[in-house]
Structure 1
Amino acid sequence: MGHREALLVGAKRCLAEKGYARTTARDIVAASGTNLASIGYHFGSKEALLNQALIEAIGDWGTELARTLSTHAVSDLEPMAQFEVIWTEIIALFAKHRQVLLASFEAISHVDHVPAVKEILSSGLEQGRQGLAQMFGTVAEGAGEAESRAVGSFYQALLTGLLAQWLIDPEHSPSGHDVATALRIITARHRAGDLTEKSA
């Protein structure tokens, strides 16, 4: 493994162990077995290295998320039961990727001061919207960009909200069953409202 790859591995380890803001260049050097000059040579700065490591770490999370969703893409379950199973699996992934996901939340506090971080997170959000809309398979084939983006944004909001609750209080955060139950209640009430309006 060359110094560049070793630095990225070390930086990702530091993100997981120390977080985004608390990681120093010396931390990365110690974790990677390289030297301070290597950071400047390969990445220009510690911040650029950390940003690249964050991109890759979030990409690793996204890859595993996609794998989880594709596992349940074809199912004999009815749609709401499948929805519950998928979210149960996603929430189970939070524990495995906790430190990296926490680091990504921590990076949010830097978006107003570090344009590169804002660009990374904005790009991740947009890719997440598109990917979630496709992976959940709830957008009709041939749907327009606006419809796909709206559905993807809904799933992204749900994912981010569940993750935030889990990071703060995993013991009391919603389960996949809770999310599915809530959606059943909301859908039933909206349908009841539609029927009431039509009969009026």
Structure 2
Amino acid sequence: MIRSPMRLATHVALLTVPLILLPPQSVIAAGGGGGGGGGAGGGELYGSSYSTPAPPSYPQEKGKRTTQKKRPAKQSSFDDPAFRDGYRAAYATIYERNDYAAAIEQLHALGRDDHPNVANLIGYSYRKLGDYKQSQVWYERALKADPNHVLTWNYYGLWQIEQGNRDAAQYHLSRIAEICGTTCDEYRSLAAALEKPPGTSLVY
């Protein structure tokens, strides 16, 4: 039993000290919470924010670095199953069947011509068909939608080489280096193409 008001005050003071020493912020911090930008890689089915992705059924390319930049709003189109499936089908038409004219129709049918991934693949398809004027239009459209779209810089760089514009292709290579470094696939393939003698046929 506490015998005096002085001892009662001492006990009350001792009981309140731990509460005073633990600020409210420490409780919040202890809760953790993986904040940190949500950004690259988290929940995005299509890989990094700076390249045209392979559909989920295709292996992701190695050597890419992710960025913490906020993704363009148009990237959310991949959350739509119909868009994702249509994109996957067009991707297969291009890279498995090499039917570029059919792929252009499939890509237009998605109704997302200003999506950088879509515009880039349309540009690529036109380039493979030999229509360099239309190809350029679509590459420019992809870069307008996303100036850091690294695969467009790569494909457009190859376009420049095929047109004899090696200085412009070198500029594209420098832009790729700024976006993903010199070890990513896009940098290495364009650098290899630039090392070939002028007039060499490119298979990319």
By the TM > 0.5 criterion, same fold? no
Q: Which has the higher contact order (CA 8 A, sep 6+)?
A: 1
Whichever structure has more helix as a proportion of its residues is 1
Which one has the largest radius of gyration?
Answer: 2
Structure 1 length normalisation: TM-score? 0.30
Structure 2 length normalisation: TM-score? 0.29
